[in-house]
Structure 1
Amino acid sequence: MRDDRFRATYLIETPLDPSKVAEVMAGEQSCGTFTRVEGETDALRERARATAVQVDLLEEVGSPSLSNAWLARRGVAGPWRRARITIEFPVANVGANLATLASIVAGNLFDLGEVTGLRLESIDLPPAYRRRFPLPAQGLAGTRRLTGVEKGVLVGSIVKPNVGLSAEETADLVARLCEAGLDFIKDDEISADPDHAPLAQRIPAVMAAVRRHQDRTGKRVMVAFNITDETDAMRRHADLVQREGGSCVMASLNWCGFSAIETLRRSTDLALHGHRNGFGAFSRHALLGIGFGAYQVLWRLAGVDHMHVHGLQGKFAQADEEVIESARDCVTPLAGEVDDRVMPAFSSGQWAGTAPATFAAIGHTDLLFMAGGGVMAHPGGPAAGVASIREAWQATVRGEALEDAAGGSPALRQALEAFGGR
């Protein structure tokens, strides 16, 4: 790949010649349209046009994945061919402009008349272009430094009940979770600045509890306050977290948008916990939307430090293979020359029993392992829930089966008995 070009790879479905569709895609997203226009000189096309550099033909299918009025009006029928297409785009067409980058690699492509399916799978950047965007303010190393966890998984949980607790009740719960031995505590994505627990009250109350715990134990627990809102409000809330001695804020990426997250990143060096709620709307159809490989590139360019990947054997629709690949993406440098790795955040149905499958799949402990029910619903209470997860990970890393390790661990044994039949 040339230094002045970046690549995007797509999965498409079409009843037409995939190579010709690839050319349509390249033209549509650069200097062209469906026909040559006035002023579109050969020199301009050479400088600014995207080019299809690879077309790999895949299977044919007997019915289209999506309806298409453009094809129907022309009486075009199947068979429908699938192909993987890689297109190179000139860096100069975009510059360091994340919103425009997203518009170019995705944008109108999803509406093209020539396709009955199109999915953006990956984005590859040359090192010089990657350096034009911000690096994570904290990333893996900074998150470990801020939490004091030098090695091993970071064990986290979520404030539950999700909504309804007052600021004082939330602070009391956070105090209990700190005492339970957690490294990380986060708000739920649906609880940001509610009337019953506004951030102006909740942040000082929670951080007072965190500071008291730190004074007693020396342990600094990271709390990710959900500051999802319009941009100016998020900046105000982040400033309050900073003044109160906090280390992390959380935002719902899809609903805040690239520009808001970029502005927030420039205004604070707090760890930015990127919650991907709504991602399923972009990703669940195999022939439509954006895969996590491309999705995480865009948000890492915005400057997030943590990315949600769901969890193995979890409660959501994603297959374990997708979760594994997503976690690997997070800890893979985007362009190979700088450490821009971010912390993969595992959640959804996680408990001590999912540690072995997680470690077997990814082979490292650079991750945030969050359990709601696995901590809060443990028969021995939250402290036992945290202990069961730590003991499960310790046993897993040393190659010991959980059933064997549970013989010397009441907390782990209780977890296996309570949750093992899920």
Structure 2
Amino acid sequence: MNRIKAKYLIETPFPLDQAAEVLAGEQSSGTFVPVPGETASLKERFAAQVTSIEALDTVTTPSLPGAASNGESYRRALIEVSWSVENVGFNLSTLVSTLQGNLYELPQFTGLKLMDIDFPEDFGSHYKGPAFGIKGCRELTGVGKGRPLIGTIIKPSIGLAPEQTAETVARLAAAGIDFVKDDELMASPANSPFEKRVEAVMKVIHAHADKTGKMIMYAFNISDEWEAMQRNYDKILEFGGNTAMISINSVGLAATKALCDRRQLVIHAHRNGWGMLNRHPLLGMDFRAYQKLWRLAGVDQIHVNGIRNKFWESDDSVVASIGACFEPVLGGFEALPVISSGQWGGQAFETFRRTRSTDFLYLAGGGIMAHPMGPEGGVVALKQSWEAAVNGLSIEEAASSYAEFGQSVKKFAKIHHGS
């Protein structure tokens, strides 16, 4: 039978099998008491099933408040639960309500985190997945295998007029950038209305393409109310753009999927707000499960943070997130991992050592825009760092061999200790 499977990390003061059954019942046919109509045949067809329980450690302090028991010990385990696809159908919103829903409210748990999801094969015939993915993004930018796509974020994040943004893009394009994006804080403020920004930026991008044959990606932030997002999407098409950015946690799965289903623009998925879902080790959702949902919706690029980033996430977690993006979903659905957050060329060496891949979009904001030789030097330095990393050079050897990267080391290594 086609079933949806989910794995959870739980913590509970109750026996593990009892807590697992409460979870399964709450998210399928059950409630807190038996009800008329909940027949054995109905439960056999629709009830969630606990398929495995793997006991872990026991702790004496609950990770979260609100337990129904004042137990002296709290058991942790990995449990797997499955549902008939008949419960959900091809409905992403109902899928998420089934996988999470009221689970985080249950007093039987002092910790609960969705760790992984397996979709039934039927989903592969309904969901299209990313329209472009890694291969399509390389083709659009003309970047072959051997190095990542190099990109940056317009800084200052907000405050620049459309003409100022376009001037910056022109400089970056001339320096050989592959990708530029709006900051997630930039939507359509009074000083930079969306349409005027698109028109100004695309004018310089087309001029550069006419001159060099290279069409860079610019991810315009279309996040807004639903009708406005559709208009924004159409404006990018009207002016010949190829990429839109969505703050996916802000606009939601349904809106994101509807835009992805148009399959005319690359969809750059920004995960701002992600820490709210993941930062607590026993609450929320692991990135492995999270990115599967968004790839199912059809995003082409998704943020994964970066090595020695400016946020809280560990390098091990970032490497695991990158690896999760490379694992097939329903046999494919490949999305381009976006490495960002306090990046400069110094992290390229450790990133390549730990992943042995260049299938990334490597974003550096300050690492490009604040380079001592200007944004032009910043773009060149990023390319040099990846060339050196792939060729096995050390940071010191690269700094001696490449002038622009050497300047990066002088400025940024003091800020990113150990890089």
1:88 correspondence with 2:82: yes
Counterpart in the other structure of 2:11 = 13
Post-superposition Cα deviations, 1:246-280, rounded to whole Å, max 9, x if no partner, equal 11000100110111112212234200000000010
2: distance between equivalents of 1:361 and 1:90? 38
1:240 correspondence with 2:235: yes
2: distance between equivalents of 1:303 and 1:289? 22
Post-superposition Cα deviations, 1:318-342, rounded to whole Å, max 9, x if no partner, equal 111111111111121112x2x2110
Counterpart in the other structure of 1:174 = 169
State whether residues 157 and 185 of structure 2, in contact with CA within 8 Å, keep that contact through their aligned partners in structure 1.
Answer: yes
State whether residues 384 and 411 of structure 1, in contact with CA within 8 Å, keep that contact through their aligned partners in structure 2.
Answer: yes
Counterpart in the other structure of 1:130 = 124
Counterpart in the other structure of 1:266 = 261
**Match for 1:322 among 294, 317, 321?**
317
Paired residues for 1:266-305 under 5 Å: 266-305=261-300
Counterpart in the other structure of 1:412 = 405
Q: Aligned AA for 1:127? A: E
Paired residues for 1:12-91 under 5 Å: 12-68=10-66, 71=68, 76-91=70-85
2: distance between equivalents of 1:214 and 1:297? 34
User: How far apart are 1:146 and its partner, in Å?
Assistant: 1.0
Task: Please say which of residues 263-272 and 278-287 is displaced more in the overlay.
Answer: 263-272
Post-superposition Cα deviations, 1:283-305, rounded to whole Å, max 9, x if no partner, equal 10011111111111111111110
2: distance between equivalents of 1:259 and 1:125? 18
Post-superposition Cα deviations, 1:73-118, rounded to whole Å, max 9, x if no partner, equal xx53221111111101111110110000000001100101101111
Post-superposition Cα deviations, 1:354-393, rounded to whole Å, max 9, x if no partner, equal 0011111111110000001111111111111111111111
2: distance between equivalents of 1:406 and 1:369? 19
Counterpart in the other structure of 2:394 = 401
Matched residue of 1:358: which SS?
A: helix
User: How far apart are 1:11 and its partner, in Å?
Assistant: 0.7
2: distance between equivalents of 1:76 and 1:381? 60
1:384 correspondence with 2:382: no
2: distance between equivalents of 1:315 and 1:166? 27
Counterpart in the other structure of 1:115 = 109
Q: Aligned AA for 2:89? A: G
State the superposition RMSD in angstroms.
1.2
1:100 correspondence with 2:94: yes
Q: Aligned AA for 2:101? A: G
User: How far apart are 1:35 and its partner, in Å?
Assistant: 2.8
Matched residue of 1:257: which SS?
A: helix
5+ residue gaps, structure 1, are none
Paired residues for 1:218-229 under 5 Å: 218-229=213-224
1:351 correspondence with 2:349: no
Q: Aligned AA for 1:393? A: W
1: distance between equivalents of 2:237 and 2:123? 31
Task: Please say which of residues 384-393 and 272-281 is displaced more in the overlay.
Answer: 384-393
Counterpart in the other structure of 1:207 = 202
State whether residues 275 and 307 of structure 1, in contact with CA within 8 Å, keep that contact through their aligned partners in structure 2.
Answer: yes
User: How far apart are 1:127 and its partner, in Å?
Assistant: 2.7
Task: Please say which of residues 265-274 and 352-361 is displaced more in the overlay.
Answer: 265-274
Matched residue of 2:24: which SS?
A: helix
1: distance between equivalents of 2:39 and 2:287? 37
User: How far apart are 1:245 and its partner, in Å?
Assistant: 1.0
User: How far apart are 1:405 and its partner, in Å?
Assistant: 2.5
Post-superposition Cα deviations, 1:218-269, rounded to whole Å, max 9, x if no partner, equal 1111000001101111111111111111110001001101111122122342
5+ residue gaps, structure 2, are none
State whether residues 172 and 379 of structure 2, in contact with CA within 8 Å, keep that contact through their aligned partners in structure 1.
Answer: no
2: distance between equivalents of 1:242 and 1:84? 46
Matched residue of 1:88: which SS?
A: strand
2: distance between equivalents of 1:15 and 1:201? 58
User: How far apart are 1:27 and its partner, in Å?
Assistant: 1.0
How many residues are paired up? 414
2: distance between equivalents of 1:307 and 1:271? 11
Q: Aligned AA for 2:245? A: M
2: distance between equivalents of 1:206 and 1:128? 42
Matched residue of 1:19: which SS?
A: helix
User: How far apart are 1:408 and its partner, in Å?
Assistant: 2.4
Counterpart in the other structure of 2:366 = 373
Aligned identity (percent) is 45
TM-score normalised to the size of structure 1? Answer: 0.96
2: distance between equivalents of 1:405 and 1:110? 49
Post-superposition Cα deviations, 1:139-197, rounded to whole Å, max 9, x if no partner, equal 11111111111222000000011101111111111111111211000000011111110
TM-score normalised to the size of structure 2? Answer: 0.97
Q: Aligned AA for 1:79? A: S
State whether residues 315 and 349 of structure 1, in contact with CA within 8 Å, keep that contact through their aligned partners in structure 2.
Answer: yes
Runs of 4+ with >3 A deviation: none
User: How far apart are 1:66 and its partner, in Å?
Assistant: 1.0
1: distance between equivalents of 2:120 and 2:255? 25
**Match for 1:144 among 138, 145, 160?**
138
2: distance between equivalents of 1:65 and 1:405? 46
State whether residues 85 and 120 of structure 2, in contact with CA within 8 Å, keep that contact through their aligned partners in structure 1.
Answer: no
Task: Please say which of residues 264-273 and 291-300 is displaced more in the overlay.
Answer: 264-273
Matched residue of 1:54: which SS?
A: strand
1: distance between equivalents of 2:125 and 2:273? 29
